[in-house]
Amino acid sequence: MKIQTQRQPGETSPWAVLSWLLIAITAYWLLPWTALEYGLGDFTAEEWVDALGWKQVRSTLVLPILLTLMIPLAWLRISAKISGGLWAVVPGLALGALLIGFTATETSMGLGATVIAICLAALFAVGMAELGFQRGDTFIAGAVIFVIFMVSVFIFFPVGEIFNNVLFDKAGIFSPFQFFRIITSFGVGRVIGNTLVLAFSVGLATTLFGLAFALYAVRATTRIRYLIKVFYILPIITPPFVVGMSLILIFGRAGMINDGLMYLLGPAGLLIPEGSPGLFERSGYIYGFLGIFLAQTLSLTPISYMVISGMLASVNPAMEEASLTMRASRWATMWHVTLPLIRPGIANAFLLGMISSAADFGNPLVLGGEYDVLSTEIYFSIAGAQLDFARAAALGIILLVLSLSIFYIQNKWIGKKSYVTVTGVETAGNVTPLPRGLQRGLTLFVVIWFFLVGLLYFSIFLGGFVKQWGADYTLTLSHHLELWSKGLESGAWPSFLNSMSYALLAAPLTTLVGVLIAYILTRKTFYGRGIIDFGTVLIFAIPGTVIGVAYILAFNTAPIELTGTAAILIITMAIRAMPVGIRGGMSALSQISTSLEEASLLQRAGSLRTIRSVLLPLLKSTIVSSMAYSFIRSMTTVSAVIFLATAGTDVATTYILSRVESGDTGVAVAYGSVLIFTMLVFTLLVQFTMGRARTDKQVKTI
Amino acid sequence: MSDASIKIVLNNVSKHFGKVRALDAVDIAFAPGTLTTLLGPSGCGKTTLLRLVSGLEPVSSGEIWFGDENVTNLSATRRDVGMVFQSYALFPHMTVEQNVGYGLRILRTKPDDISKRVQEVLEMVAMDGFQRRYPDELSGGQQQRVAVARAMVLRPKVLLFDEPLSNIDSKLRRSMRDDIRRLQQASGITSIYVTHDQAEALAVSDEIIIMRNGSIEQQGPPQALYHRPRTTFVANFIGESNVVDAELTGEGTHRQIVFGDARVDVTAGMPIADRKGPIKLSLRPEVLEIRPFENTSSSPMLHGVIVQRAYMGPVIEYTIKTRIGALFTRGPASASQFKESDEISIHIQPENIIIIPENSKA
């Protein structure tokens, strides 16, 4: 495609250019060029002044002088080619020089340098637009360059660092065989095997149970099915490892089951004749494969349910009715028509279950025992005394490759095999009922499941109020008091407030970038789009522990030193929640006809105005729900943040895990139940207000 | 035609998407104040051409001129073009008033002037009083009118219609079509109209451009295209047509067109100059007159057998097998009727025979 210059000479608003220039110049003179010793939270005036650019390196003075000289150019009416070239080349080169300079001198970028880098990127976008990039649309060109910039810094660079750490040994010497040395070393094969066996089993189990729930929710004629629509909220608002904790409360060594069996069959048990030895010993059977499997199956089944039920609901009932008219029984219809139609959904649910199981970190950490999987092994390579970054990186690569390949299969293979045209219209009414026997069986299954889940959540709630689970069931408030009554400086408050404020900052950030990426992916084609495509795939597929390792490796040293700051946690939360924004944005945008935007353009509105006046109002509910969901995910995430949280930036989940590790189960579950309760209230609040908004005058058909 | 009417000129315009050539070096002039229809099967490039004129799609090469202004490098926002979309593209979150007044708000018109101007154009499309409704509270035809009003509110230099009637039921289509024609003529805005419906094209247009495979097949007023199609494709696309093979025989003043049993003397004005050999004719169904079998050679006359008849209310449609292939025609249902497998004769007035001047390449 030949790029057309749609821009007339001097068409960029000089004022926009001027403001970027002035921000950069001001940042140079007032903000620290290099990073402050103790971060932006704790500094003296002297440190601040010392960190200014002209104090640090005299040669940086070139930058503000250059930018000042460029101010008049904004008003100069010269041909688009020359001015575009000027604006693309000068800021572009300056940006490159800045980044290379910091890397070469091993200095960390300060706030000032960061702001200047962003301004230079914006000016570069102006230049590219004048040269015809994105048909001369400065806003779109800026957005694209911004997204590429973000993805490069926060995805490609950290992932690259992982490979870097594997390819070079500690002394920085190129050692291409280090990777193979690590993965063939003792125990690694077992860890990989464990991960695969677990992922496969969990994938199978969640698919089967998810299918059962989907059939029941969409097709059963009983009333309990309405409860299912509520039940998928639970795992979303529950931190992943809390399910594991509750399993310990029930099945653990000091859990209800062991207690009950001990009471009946243990030494001096109720059913044991006096004097004879007990038939039962307390057992830790829940630690290991069984425990992780149960916990993951319980928390991942709702995801599989959502995938399958979505597909089941869009099966055209006419096909099943056609089968019934041809003398097929309900069983035969189910077997030969319904299930084959939703086969892609089933396969999708299976792969999703596998990915999620392999990526899960919290449950194996809490329940794993001797059963090591990749995600925990990565963590222990760094967290323990070993500090073996190369090993963590190598295991991270394996987990990443595993996850990427499943993701690839999911996209390439299943994406094309859907027989069901998803119209978005749920076929209301006349659904084919289930075979009677199946319905009875499923009812029993669903009731048992609900009972188990209810028991789990009840035990979490109760666990916070008893003195010592398994030993002393006296009711007490001491756990909650310890958490919440010791002032804002200690107990649970610091971590809780950190979680809240980071998640509140991450949610709009991730939604903004996510929807922007969705917009670019659905609306724009250009050279270099592949960068964004690939970045998006990585964002979707990369497991949390891998992000954690990658960020530790990438942002621990110059030029971008972020470890220990709140910023790195906010960014991590934003990246982890980004699939929500991207997916939501893409599905919403694909329902909005592009002719709406074109109609707006033809009414003399620019692209920024079109996005503001046409797209944003139509995306309102998507944006709100994406922000809410991102917030919840950020509050409950653990895998990536556990690598990055420090004493000063502890968050709720890491705090709870640390209490679990130190054996304070009561405190941990007390905190967990408060967290779940907060998220539940928040979710209901959002759903309530969203429901209200929908009854207002809103978009019905687009 | 008002003074503001401008001429639109496309010079050697091409457009390709990757390797697909959607438009191939097209030259067109749209006369000021006229309504020109782009007509053709799907994939012929008509919508692409419209989008190039609108600026929503950049040209791959060539130039587009509005009057004496070269707009090739102007974005859609700056071209001063109004467009009615196939899906109407009304903003679902805005009222009728907000939809129509959108462009005026962008141009920072005073609120009083906006509502006055909006009322004016809504009156033109007979939608005054619907200002506070949302698009989903309007019928398809009403949405269509609002879309037309929105396209015209800024008094653009150029009006574009992208299959505007394809989502409207057939009964309403006729009156909408006439309304569009009336509004366009009253405003005098040079307009381009895309459709794949030849009847619609014949009814609304000053000029029709038939497109095929990314280039122009023929351009001209509706009558000219109907009566003097230059290619088989055009003859088949506009109206109904029996295209048959014929042979040119003889020399000088004795030249004759021979098809089947029929012979027609070549007269001056027939577009065949001094060609010889095989040519193609278009016989419109309405010029074929069926009579009971006559064994005379009073030419031009064809003989045939009725193979199929279909009762259509006022007329009966016949398919007739002849030596030059199956011909399709109609006869009045009231007059003497023919049955299947009747042998009949077909009379044709020589002046009604359409000679297709293209070299029989197709």
DSSP string of A246-282? HHHHHHSTTSHHHHHHHHHHSTT-TTSPTTSPPS---
pLDDT at residue A245 is higher than 90: no
- Round to whole Å and give the CA distance between A184 and A84: 54
Quick one: pLDDT at residue A1?
31
A618 near B CB under 8 A: yes
Distances (CA, A) of A10 to A75, A77, A127, B106, B286: 7, 5, 11, 22, 62
Q: Which of A196-210, A252-266, B326-340 has the lowest mean pLDDT?
A: A252-266
* DSSP β-ladder status, B301-311 and A472-475: unpaired
Q: Which of residues 136-165 of B touch A (CB under 8 A)?
A: 136, 150-151, 154
CA dihedral A443→A444→A445→A450, nearest 10 degrees, is 90
B101 reaches A (C-beta below 8 A)? no
User: How would DSSP label each residue in A281-320?
Assistant: ----TTTTHHHHHHHHHHHHHHHHHHHHHHHHHTS-HHHH
Dihedral pair phi/psi, residue A243, rounded to 5°: -60, -45
Tell me what pLDDT residue B336 has. 66
pLDDT in tens, A630-689: 999 999 888 889 888 888 888 999 999 888 888 888 889 999 999 999 998 998 888 888
For B54, the closest chain A residue by CA position comes to: A602
What does the CA dihedral B138, B142, B147, B148 come to, rounded to 10 degrees? -170
Strands B277-283 and B158-162, sheet pairing: unpaired
- Nearest by CB to residue B77, choosing from A595, A601, A614, is A601
Instruction: Write down the domain spans for chain B.
Output: 8-233, 240-356
Residues in chain A: 702
- What percent helix, strand, coil does chain B show, rounded to 5? 25, 35, 40
pLDDT winner (highest mean) among A218-227, A479-488, B16-25, B61-70: B61-70
Residues on chain A touching B81 (C-beta within 8 angstroms): 602
The answer to whether B288 and B348 are in contact (CB under 8 A) is: yes
Cβ <8 Å between B103 and A603? yes
Which residues in A lie closer than 8 A to residue B150 (C-beta atoms)?
A: 599, 603
Which residue pairs from A407-410 have beta carbons closer than 8 angstroms and sit at least 24 positions apart in sequence?
A407/A351, A407/A355, A407/A537, A407/A540, A407/A541, A409/A351, A410/A348, A410/A351, A410/A352, A410/A355
Residue with structure tokens 């509910």? A621
List chain A domain ranges: 1-136, 147-173+481-702, 183-239+289-440
- Considering only alpha carbons, which residue of chain A is nearest residue B93? A699
Contacts with B, A 2-31, CB within 8 Å = 2, 4-8
Q: How confident is the model at residue A41 (pLDDT cuts 50, 70, 90)?
A: low
Q: Is the pLDDT of residue A201 over 50?
A: yes
pLDDT at A674: 92
Task: Please give the CATH number for the structural domain made up of A147-173+481-702.
Answer: 1.10.3720.10
Angstrom distance (rounded) from CA B142 to CA B125: 9
Q: Percent of chain A having pLDDT more than 90?
A: 25
- The whole-angstrom distance between residue B3's C-alpha and the CA centroid of its chain comes to 27
pLDDT of residue B335: 65
Report residue B263: phi and psi, to 5°.
Answer: -130, 135
Q: Which residue of B has its CA nearest to A601?
A: B77
Domain A147-173+481-702 shares a fold with domain A183-239+289-440: yes
Of A601, A613, A698, the CB nearest to B76: A601
Return the beta strands (E) in A406-522 as ranges: 466-468, 472-475
Q: What is the pLDDT of residue A512?
A: 93
pLDDT in tens, A407-430: 888 877 766 555 544 433 444 456
Contacts (Cβ under 8 Å, ≥6 apart) of A693: A620, A621, A624
Residues 6 or more apart whose Cβ sits within 8 Å of residue B185: B35
Q: How far is B132 from chain A (nearest CA, A)?
A: 12
Contacts of A451 (CB under 8 A, 6+ apart): none
Under CATH, which number does the domain B240-356 receive? 2.40.50.140
Nearest-neighbour CA in chain B from A362: distance (Å)? 44
Chain B residues in contact with A135 (beta carbon < 8 A): 58, 75
Closest CA relative to residue B346, chosen from B305, B308, B312, B301 = B301
Q: Say which of A135, A602, A617 has its CB closest to residue B58.
A: A135
Q: Do B92 and A699 touch (CB under 8 A)?
A: yes
CA distance B137 to B28: 40
Residue B109 near chain A (CB below 8 Å): no
What confidence tier does A6 reach under pLDDT thresholds 50, 70, 90? very low
Per-residue tens of pLDDT for chain B, all 362 residues:
456 789 999 999 999 988 888 999 999 999 999 999 999 998 899 999 999 999 998 899 999 999 999 999 888 888 899 999 998 999 999 999 999 999 999 888 899 999 999 999 999 999 999 999 999 999 989 999 999 999 999 999 999 999 998 888 888 888 889 999 999 999 999 999 999 888 899 999 999 999 999 999 999 999 999 988 989 999 988 888 889 888 888 777 778 888 887 888 777 667 666 667 788 888 899 888 888 887 766 656 788 899 998 888 888 899 999 988 899 998 887 766 788 888 888 888 888 888 888 754 43
Residue B298 CB contacts under 8 Å (≥ 6 apart), including other chains? none
Q: Please state, in angstroms and as integers, the Cα–Cα distance from residue A575 to each residue in A144, A517, A529, following that order.
A: 18, 12, 19
Terminal CA-to-CA distance of chain B, rounded, Å?
A: 40
Q: Name the residue among B17, B91, B151 with its Cβ closest to that of A596.
A: B91
How many Å lie between the alpha carbon of A173 and the closest alpha carbon of chain B?
46
Long-range contacts of A118-122 (CB under 8 A, 24+ apart): A119/A20, A119/A21, A119/A23, A119/A24, A119/A27, A119/A91, A120/A24, A120/A91, A120/A92, A120/A94, A120/A95, A121/A91, A121/A95, A121/A145, A121/A146, A121/A149, A122/A20, A122/A146
Tell me the nearest-neighbour CA distance from B201 into chain A, angstroms. Answer: 23
Minimal-distance CA residue of chain A relative to B21: A1
Q: Domain A183-239+289-440 in CATH: superfamily? A: MetI-like (1.10.3720.10)
DSSP string, A121-158: HHHHHHHHHHTTGGGG-HHHHHHHHHHHHHHIIIIIHH
Contact A55, A112 (CB under 8 A): no
Q: What is the dihedral angle through the alpha carbons of A592, A598, A601, A606, rounded to the nearest 10 degrees?
A: 50
> Tokens at residue A593, please?
């006809």
Return the closest-CA partner of residue A198 out of A210, A208, A186, A190: A190
First to last CA, chain A: 31
Residues of A in contact with B18 (CB under 8 A): 1
Task: Write out the CATH class of domain B8-233.
Answer: alpha beta
State chain A's mean pLDDT as an integer: 83
Considering only CB atoms, A4 lies closest to which of B56, B73, B86, namely B73
Q: Name the nearest CA neighbour of A215 among A146, A311, A144.
A: A311
Contact B193, B86 (CB under 8 A): no
Beta carbons within 8 Å of A374's beta carbon, 6+ residues apart: A191, A192, A195, A358, A395, A398, A399, A402, A545
The average pLDDT across A232-255 equals 81
Q: Which amino acid is at B301?
A: M
Sort out which chain B residues have CB atoms less than 8 A from A603's CB and list them.
102-103, 106, 150, 154
pLDDT band at A205 (very low <50, low <70, confident <90, very high): very high
CB < 8 Å to A701, chain B: 92, 136
Q: How many CB atoms lie within 10 A of CB B269?
A: 6
For residue range A304-327, list pLDDT tens digits in order: 988 898 888 888 878 888 888 888
Q: Is B172 touching A (CB cutoff 8 A)?
A: no
Contact B106 A605 (CB under 8 A): yes
Within 8 A of A605 by CB-CB distance, chain B residues are 77, 102-103, 106
Contacts of A698 in chain B (CB under 8 A): 93
Within 679-698 of A, beta carbons closer than 8 Å to B belong to 697-698
Residue A647, Cβ density class (10 Å: 0-12 exposed, 13-18 middle, ≥19 buried):
exposed
Query: Does the pLDDT at position A227 exceed 90?
Result: no
Smallest Cα–Cα separation from B278: which of B193, B335, B361? B361
pLDDT at A8: 46
Distance to chain B for A12, nearest Cα, Å: 14
The upper half-sphere exposure of residue B78, i.e. CA atoms within 13 Å in the direction of its Cβ, equals 14
Backbone angles phi, psi at B170, to 5 degrees: -65, -30
